[in-house]
């Protein structure tokens, strides 16, 4: 039987942090100890920031992004290409594309991918709104920037089928050899995708 080494408030903090991706019980304990040691310059500001996030952050009704303004900063930006909608699975994917600064378009966050075994069908995802947006006259292309997983590819195929009734062009991200990648270290699926997507120089 393990002994209690901290009060219930501290244990609760450890349990909650341990539920975050990439953090287990040991990492959560380290994080909690760091927060407790730096109570004034880290724990209190973090607590305040979390409370503000709870109060102010909302899901954008247009694209599904998370922001403190409605519509979100991306949807409200008039400089973005209105003819292109980039479809991603999660908000983190949107943030990754924005960090890379490779496209200045509008986005659409699905909120996951199709997974019948987990009970996630089209109704659980933000697909109906995408189909409505695709019918807008200014939209010319839908870029499916979904993960290169079985679920991501089946979701892309489903959405592509649903968009055949619209006039938009449906495209997807290229797949294959990453920059700096060595062929010997790549898996068979990546190599096969690279050969299928080959192009003339």
- Tell me the Cα Rg of the chain: 21
pLDDT > 50? residue 7: yes
Phi, psi of 190, rounded to the nearest 5 degrees:
-65, -45
Conformational region of residue 41, where left means phi above 0, alpha means psi within -120 to 50, and beta covers everything else: alpha
Please tell me the distance from the alpha carbon of residue 41 to that of residue 39, in angstroms, as a whole number.
6
pTM: 0.82
* Token duo for residue 159: 């959405």
Report pLDDT for 201. 65
pLDDT tens column, 100-150: 888 999 999 999 999 988 899 999 999 999 999 999 999 999 999 998 888
Chain-centroid distance, C-alpha 23: 19
Chain-centroid distance, C-alpha 18: 21
Q: Are strands 141-144 and 81-88 parallel, antiparallel or unpaired?
A: parallel
Chain-centroid distance, C-alpha 15: 25
Report pLDDT for 115. 92
Q: Are strands 66-67 and 105-109 parallel, antiparallel or unpaired?
A: unpaired
Report pLDDT for 1. 42
pLDDT tens column, 45-88: 999 999 999 999 999 999 999 999 999 999 999 999 999 999 99
pLDDT > 60? residue 89: yes
Contacts of 115 (CB under 8 A, 6+ apart): 151
Given a contact cutoff of 8 angstroms between Cβ atoms, the answer to whether 141 and 133 are in contact is: no
Half-sphere exposure of 149 (CA within 13 A, CB side): 10
Mean pLDDT of 7-31: 92
Please tell me the distance from the alpha carbon of residue 10 to that of residue 36, in angstroms, as a whole number.
9
To 10 degrees, the CA torsion angle through 17, 19, 25, 28?
-20
């Amino acid at each position: 039987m393990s002994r209690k080494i901290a009060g219930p408030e501290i244990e609760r903090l450890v349990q909650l942090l341990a539920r975050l991706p990439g953090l287990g019980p040991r990492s959560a304990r380290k994080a909690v100890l760091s927060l407790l040691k730096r109570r004034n310059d880290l724990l209190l500001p973090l607590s305040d920031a979390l409370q503000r996030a709870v109060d102010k952050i909302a899901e954008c009704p247009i694209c599904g992004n998370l922001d403190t303004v409605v519509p979100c900063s991306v949807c409200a930006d008039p400089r973005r290409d209105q003819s292109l909608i980039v479809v991603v699975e999660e908000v983190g994917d949107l943030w990754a594309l924005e960090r890379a600064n490779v496209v200045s378009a509008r986005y659409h966050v699905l909120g996951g991918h199709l997974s019948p075994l987990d009970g996630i069908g089209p109704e659980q995802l933000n697909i109906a709104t995408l189909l409505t947006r695709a019918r807008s006259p200014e939209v010319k292309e839908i870029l499916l920037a979904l993960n290169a997983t079985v679920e991501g590819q089946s979701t892309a195929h489903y959405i592509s089928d649903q968009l055949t009734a619209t006039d938009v062009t449906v495209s997807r991200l290229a797949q294959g050899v990453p920059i700096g990648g060595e062929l010997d270290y790549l898996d068979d699926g990546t190599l096969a995708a690279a050969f299928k997507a080959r192009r003339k120089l």
